[in-house]
Amino acid sequence: MGTLPAAIVLLVFGSFFGSTLGSCVTTPPVWECGVLYQPILTFEKTTVKECGFNATKNLFSKVKAVRYADANKNLTYRLIMVDPDAPGHDNGDAWLHWIQSGVQGADLLKGHFNGKEITSYNPPTPPKNSGVHRYFFFIYEETSQSASAVQAIAKRGRFNIQNYAANSSLCGPDASTMFTTKF
């Protein structure tokens, strides 16, 4: 039996023990499916059960539920949704669609996302002739430091999720999924 690469071991144990040990690992987001646990997202008119789900943009008008079956009921989480395919965004930058902070793990187990909305939900609005856009949804674990230092986001454009997570003392991401749509 082989050994796991150090990066995977750090990711798994860093996420699992993050706030319990007082330190955690913030890893760069992976812009593909199948790497992390996939939460289920329920919108007003559709449900994303599998990463890579494709549908028309009007089905994603409002987030109704987020279920993360692997959430720790004793922890709090931050939910972040971004579009890395927005025109003029590259090198890790994305258009910010939503940030919800202070979401209780016990609520995520049931499909709820109570907490504080840092950046209001902005449904997908890919511009005409810009092709298919990927909308990534990440779940990060909050530490006591990140939960108490929540700051408003000045602008949605050129949002760098990796810098934001590191500067906010977030652990993970612990889970992610993605759906696609176009104009």
| CATH value at residue 78 | 3.90.280.10
This prediction has a pTM of 0.86
The reply to whether 163 falls in a domain is: yes
pLDDT per residue as tens digits for the range 47-82: 999 999 999 999 999 999 999 999 999 999 999 999
The reply to whether 49 falls in a domain is: yes
Q: Which residues of the chain have pLDDT under 70?
A: 1-23
- Per DSSP, the residues of 63-123 read EEEEE-TT--TTSEEEEEEEETTSTT--TTEEEEEEEEEEEEHHHHHHT---SEEEE----
pLDDT, residue 23, reads: 67
The reply to whether 1 falls in a domain is: no
The reply to whether 164 falls in a domain is: yes
pLDDT, residue 92, reads: 84
Tell me how far apart the alpha carbons of residues 97 and 116 are, in angstroms, rounded to a whole number.
Answer: 15
If one counts the domains in the chain, the total is 1
